[in-house]
Amino acid sequence: MDSGIGLLAATAAVRRLRPDADLVLSFDPEGMPWGPRTPEDVTARALAVAEAAAARRPEALIVGCNTATVHSLPALRARLEPGIPVVGTVPAIKPAAAGGGPVAIWATPATTGSAYQRGLIENFADGVPVTEVPCWGLAEAVEHADQAAIDTAVRAAAELTPDDVTTVVLGCTHYELVAERIRAAVRRSGGTPLALHGSADAVAAQALRRIGASPAPGAPATGLVTVLLNGREGELPEAALSYAEARLLRTAAPAAPAVSQ
């Protein structure tokens, strides 16, 4: 679940691990983006999108959104667990800091500077210097596949990234869809390779662990994909198909009937 196509990164990661898994993608096109909303509003919308997915009786729910995880994870878990395990998306600060070099966290303005993100830095950065970089307009540009706006937003964030940074944490799931464009924009002196850390692979693996399932990347590609737009069956937004992650999921099937909770 997510407001928009930021959930594609984790969904594609699940698809690669389990090609036989049926997937339900629950979006909030009427309310996106969530970044500028108040925490209370984000939580209300996240609960509605989650409940639409929960009506399909999934084995687990992935919150494919950093903003929703920051503001809404306790409420989502209180509403759905233990019946449906809820897996949040957390910026990959700990593995990024393990590299030892200065780190930048690219995130939405709502997440940048939040008590939640500051707590993660304090708990997991292990003394490594961390710069928080607000990425104005980048999630929205990615959502609409606006190539010029993506370039502008990436360039602006790159200019806010200190020259000595060797690692960038992608603190918004939308950013993982344009990871290579970010890598190209943040050039290090002396040709030092830039390390990027997203969350999608770790989130997908955690979801499988929570339901006691093992990865089976060689399984037959029989999994169906259901798209819910504010609870109604639909199709992936056209802009999503600009990204390889969406094309991997393009085959969609009718949703299973909703059931009473």
Q: Which residues are part of the catalytic machinery?
A: 65, 172
169 contacts 108 by C-beta, under 8 angstroms: no
How many CA within 13 A on the CB side of residue 104?
24
d(CA 236, CA 27): 9
DSSP symbol at 125: S
Cα–Cα distances (Å) from 168 to 30, 54, 94, 106, 210, in that order, read 31, 34, 12, 7, 28
Helices (H) and strands (E) in the chain, counts: 10, 9
Cβ within 8 Å of residue 6, ≥6 positions away: 64, 65, 139, 142, 143, 172, 173, 174, 177
